[in-house]
Structure 1
Amino acid sequence: MAARHDLATDPRLQEDLLQARRGTAYFARKLNELTDAELDGGTRLPDWTRRHVVAHVGYNARAIARLVEWAATGVETPMYSSTEARKQEIEFGATLSPIALRNLFDHSAVHLSVEWRDLPDANWSNEIRTAQGRTVPASETVWMRSREVWIHAVDLDNGATFNDIPASVLERLLRDITGAWKTRGTDVGLQIKVTGTDLVFGDNTTTNPTIITGPLPSVVEWVTGRGSAGVSPTIPSENGGIPAAPKWI
């Protein structure tokens, strides 16, 4: 018989699950505020309508559920068969009727939540592989989903802002993204400082690096490539403005 509550007992994991589900509920609220006609509107992502964002978030839940199933059964079930298949899936999803698109989001979110709920403690450390080829424990799927729903709620361009995202999620995003830059060597000559905190990330070896400073929500908005309001650089870009952040995915 399926569990009626999460089988996971680790307090940190329980908190992460709560944060992911809160993000899902927040995305759902911003989606439900939109009329069917408004689903055709633009987003904060180039070339994607709201339809694309909703389809992506829905299919992402299904893909992550496959990873959780992998951890549960030991049978390899990749997120996607290929990068091209993932792109085609999103493009197809964007053509669905409004009710079908909304149902895709709702049903896939419930499915993923149930897969998490029924995963025993011992299986959360089982290794799975992400679409980027990283081998990680199943517990990583919770963070993978959390960042998707919180960021893409903002991408719907329906009033959500990075100020609405919990500080713990913002800080983890900042650490993840700047860590990816460091791994790729794209943070050379660049530092990030969060005002009012001791958080400093980036290149600490270059003399006179460009330092991007701002409140945590504004800094995370900039590092994710969603905007530059609220941040300021010590060294402007060539056109005198705020430099673009390096790519992180």
Structure 2
Amino acid sequence: MTGPEADLAALKDATERLLTAVEPLDDDAVAAPSHLPGWTRGHVLAHLARNADALVDVIHGRPMYPSEESRNADIERGARRPAALHRADLRESAARFAETAAGLSGPAWQRTATLRNGVVDTLAGLPFRRLTEIELHHIDLDIGRTVADLPGTFVDRSVEQLARRFAGHPALPPLELRAEDGRHWRTGAAEGEPRVVAGTPAALVGWLTGRTSGSGLTSSGPLPQPPPL
């Protein structure tokens, strides 16, 4: 199984893990801080639900969000809801995305769409984008999951995608990312001798996504701060 079908299967598993993990949370736990500065767990859960609906809009050819202000307002408005409403919203919005994606086939997956901040991708890229939201924000909820718990297939793919995303980025020096198994990726500024940053794929993903400070990595020079995603 390859392409969006494999990503959709991985997304289903990740979503069920998340739903199981948030089931015990009560209203006080949802209102408690997450790992994300200024956001409670409720903010993270509201964002995940609205992100699923935004991707449904993208599939239907609509803007991902009407505006950045409306996106932020929806998250803020939903953040303070009771835990039970968060769980229902998360499950129902995930089901809407899964049902909409299931209606795509063949050439439809290759249609292009504009996402937030002007990013352009094919519809085939949406399931992995959604999977990334689920996996990383599960960690952000601060309910026991860490970067070390991310599935190997996900972190392998993420390192490749993050290396492409940051290639040529002016905020990063030239970098060579090295996994312990010998794989390597070039990213950051194109000119100059690359600084070697080495470790497990999970440690690389944790650092590149801002979920860790770079623990578990070695570097041939000072470890830079990756730009926000």
Whether the TM-score (by the shorter chain) exceeds 0.5 is yes
> Are residue 115 (structure 1) and residue 100 (structure 2) matched?
yes
Matching residue within 89, 97, 101 for 1:104: 89
Q: What displacement does 1:79 show?
A: 0.9
Instruction: Give per-residue Cα distances to partners, 1:92-140, cap 9 Å, x unaligned.
Output: 1112222222211111011111111122333212222111213322111
Q: Provide the residue aligned with 1:240 in structure 2.
A: none
Q: Distance in 1 between matches of 2:107 and 2:163?
A: 31
Unaligned stretches of 5+ in structure 1? 1-9, 71-76, 237-242
Name the residue aligned to 1:206.
Answer: 192
Are residues 1:38 and 2:29 paired? yes
Cα separation, 1, equivalents of 2:123 and 2:220: 41
* CA distance in structure 2 between the aligned counterparts of 1:47 and 1:244, rounded to whole angstroms: 24
From 5, 8, 17, give the equivalent of 1:26. 17
1:162-206 per-residue CA deviation (whole Å, 9 max, x = no partner) reads 222222211222222222221433332333221223223325752
Aligned CA distance change for structure 1 residues 181 and 15 (closer, same or farther; 3 Å):
same
Size of the alignment, in residue pairs? Answer: 227
Map 1:56-95 to 2 at 5 A.
56-70=47-61, 77-95=62-80
Find the counterpart in structure 1 of residue 118 from structure 2.
Answer: 133
Between the aligned partners of 2:105 and 2:166, the Cα distance in structure 1 is: 34
- Equivalent residue letter for 1:235: G
Q: 1:191, 1:44 → 2: CA distance?
A: 28
Q: 1:247 maps to what in 2?
A: 227
Match of 1:219 in 2: 204
SS at match of 1:184: coil
What is the CA–CA distance in structure 1 between the aligned matches of 2:167 and 2:74, rounded to whole Å?
32
Distance across 2 between alignment mates of 1:44 and 1:85: 23
Whole-Å Cα distance in 2 between the matches of residues 37 and 230 of structure 1? Answer: 33
Query: In 2, distance between residues paired with 1:230 and 1:112?
Result: 35
Give the conservation status (yes or no) of the 8 Å contact 1:181–1:248.
no
Q: Could you tell me how far apart the structure 2 residues matched to 1:244 and 1:104 are?
A: 38
Q: CA 1:180/1:200 → structure 2, altered by over 3 Å: closer, same or farther?
A: closer
Within the alignment, does 1:124 sit opposite 2:109 as a pair?
yes
Give the corresponding residue for 1:182. Answer: 167
Q: Is the 8 A contact 1:178 1:187 kept in 2?
A: no
Q: Which residue is equivalent to 2:136?
A: 151
RMSD of aligned alpha carbons: 1.9
Paired residue for 2:6?
15
TM-score (norm 1): 0.83
Rounded to whole Å, the distance in 1 between the matches of 2:4 and 2:203 is 27
**CA 1:190–1:199 in structure 2 vs 1: closer, same or farther (change >3 Å)?**
closer
Deviations 1:184-236 (A, max 9, x none): 333323332212232233257523x4322211111110111111221222223
Greater alpha carbon shift after TM alignment, 96-105 vs 146-155: 96-105
Shift of 1:86: 0.8
Gaps of 5+ in 2: none
Select the structure of larger CA radius of gyration: 1
Contact 1:224-1:245 at 8 Å conserved across structures = no
